[in-house]
Amino acid sequence: MDDHAEQKEPIKLGNATLGKLPENVLRPTYDRSKLTPGIVHIGMGNFHRAHQAWYLHRLMEEGRAHDWAIIGAGVRPYDTAMRVKLAAQDYLYTTIELDPEGTSAEVVGSIIDYVPIEPGNAPLIARMADPATRIVAMTVTEAGYFLNPATKRFDAEHPDIVHDAQNPSQPRTLFGSMVEALRLRRERELVPFAGQSCDNLPGNGRLLKEVVLGLARLSNPGLADWIEEHGSFPNSMVDCIVPATGERELGIAREFGIEDAVPVTHERFRQWVLEDRFCAGRPPWEDVGATFTDRVHDYEKMKLRILNGGHQVIAIPGEVLGLRTIADTMANPLIRGLFRKVALEEVAPHVPSVPDMTPQAYVDLIDMRFSNPMIVDTVRRVAMDGSAKHAGQVMEPLNDGLAAGTPVEGMALVQALWARMCAGVREDGTTIEPNDPHWGSLQAVAKEARSDPAAWLAQRYYVGVQDATTFTEPFARWLRLIWDEGTEIALQRYLSR
């Protein structure tokens, strides 16, 4: 670590101990007791705390946005545990930047409270209905939007959605809670809050709007019309590699002299691109590095297809070969070669440039970021929930290639590797534990596909190849080669093409 102050016993993080932290640890210089809330954020995981909450913290450090403080929220048992941990340290936490050129720590103070998690979500509804709340944001991952796996549109038949439509005042889901809070705001003649998705989904604001309006129309069509007319759901693109917190990360915080139950490690790079459509106002995030533009979709396409899709390209063979971290996969010349060849030859040609960045230059940037050995991001975490991630991150560039008649051999190999991974056993014979909500069905079809590759492509819910006629042959060829001769031979064969 860089010039860490020697500390026999780490200092427990809290308002009262900020002044006692080692000098090399940045900490809030603003008076947190004078902050007032403006944002409710649902899903207080590591990414939000390393990204959006940090941007707001930077504004607060400049003496601004003190009326936009964040109140955390959630609807899962995980959120209860996070609330207890954060409350015990006055909602402070440490962000630790891990970079080969140096490591640094900063305590973030932009979160000031956390809504109690209760059945029926009454405290959450009350907080969102409060006039002070002007933005309701969320980081709930791709799998949390109640989308039909086949159509990627709102699934009105999901049991939780049906429950919320029938019991709007006692919702189970965060979206049902949003609808009820918006109903109360309309009843009280308040403006709606802006709904802000911070998840890695194409058109995340559009999808959030579709889910909220779709649910509202099931029980209160007039409310849905009011939300559509007066509310807003800006699209956004978020980017920062943020690993999960374990004993290693807790230990790094202690090395900085901080006893923190929920520290967050992250890379040096951050990016946030948003549409400027906030119906009840917003903080001036552009003054601390965020980009406001009408071209969010172009930034999003580059990021989702090259970074997020690239994560799948390297994590899947990494899991099959028993590698532990993303940096380990990039240290493997075959997997790194797979990433670069697929990204440059099969993905980048279908991605537009954005100001100051071409797709080809972005591939080099992602290569460098994935290769950072300081970031211990596990293959298992990245490969998890493939059935949700593949739709926008892998299948869309594959289908673009099929439509354009451009090369898709690498994508066929990646799809075959996913089918091999879902069989549930690594090449060394160890078990791959379930890592997807649909693992049972994926595993059954993956085993069937070993002798009948077409069975894998027939999974329209999870695969969705638009033109399987030209794709079946390369997919089947790669899958047979992987099963017969192994992943490394398949990668060598592809890279030699």
Q: Are 93 and 108 in contact (CB under 8 A)?
A: yes
Pick the CATH number of 11-293 from 3.40.50.12780, 2.60.40.10, 2.40.37.10, 3.40.50.720: 3.40.50.720
Position 461 scores a pLDDT of: 67
Position 5 scores a pLDDT of: 45
pLDDT above 90 for 392: no
The b-or-e profile of 220-243 (16+ CB within 10 A means b, else e) is beebbebbbeebbbbbbbbbbbbb
pLDDT above 90 for 75: no
- Give me Rg for the CA atoms of the chain: 23
The residues spanned by each domain of the chain are 11-293, 297-495
Find the mean pLDDT for residues 367-391. 92
pLDDT above 70 for 206: yes
Find the mean pLDDT for residues 359-385. 96
At residue 3 the predicted structure's pLDDT band, cuts being 50, 70 and 90, is very low
Which residues, 6+ apart, have CB-to-CB distance to 462 below 8 Å? 149, 386, 387, 390, 438, 442
At residue 150 the predicted structure's pLDDT band, cuts being 50, 70 and 90, is low
Q: Are 326 and 311 in contact (CB under 8 A)?
A: yes
297-495 — its CATH code?
1.10.1040.10
Shared fold status for 11-293 and 297-495: no
63 or 154, greater pLDDT = 63
3-state secondary structure of 93: strand
CA 248 to chain centroid, in Å, comes to: 22
Whole-angstrom distance, CA of residue 242 vs CA of residue 311: 13
Find the mean pLDDT for residues 120-141. 96
Position 4 scores a pLDDT of: 47
Which residues, 6+ apart, have CB-to-CB distance to 432 below 8 Å? 319, 421, 424, 425, 426
In tens, the pLDDT along 403-454 reads 999 999 999 999 999 999 999 999 999 999 999 989 999 999 999 999 999 9
Whole-angstrom distance, CA of residue 253 vs CA of residue 306: 32
pLDDT above 80 for 68: yes
Q: Say what the pTM is.
A: 0.89
Share of the chain above pLDDT 90, in %: 88
- In this structure, the number of other CB atoms found within 10 A of the CB of residue 496 comes to 7
Position 282 scores a pLDDT of: 98
Residue the block writes with tokens 């590698």: 323
Position 149 scores a pLDDT of: 67
The average confidence (pLDDT) of the chain is: 94
Position 440 scores a pLDDT of: 95
Instruction: Tell me the CA distances in angstroms from 463 to 43, 409, 481, 487, one per residue in order.
Output: 28, 16, 20, 21
Position 198 scores a pLDDT of: 95
Find the mean pLDDT for residues 67-92. 95
Position 201 scores a pLDDT of: 85
Whole-angstrom distance, CA of residue 118 vs CA of residue 75: 8
Lowest mean pLDDT among 99-103, 168-172, 260-264, 365-369: 99-103
Position 462 scores a pLDDT of: 72
Write out the DSSP string of 135-183.
Answer: EEEE---GGGS-B-TTT-SB-TTSHHHHHHHH-TTS-SSHHHHHHHHHH
In tens, the pLDDT along 4-19 reads 445 469 999 999 999 9
- In this structure, the number of other CB atoms found within 10 A of the CB of residue 126 comes to 15
Position 141 scores a pLDDT of: 79
pLDDT above 80 for 160: yes
Find the mean pLDDT for residues 65-75. 96
Position 474 scores a pLDDT of: 95
pLDDT above 70 for 470: yes
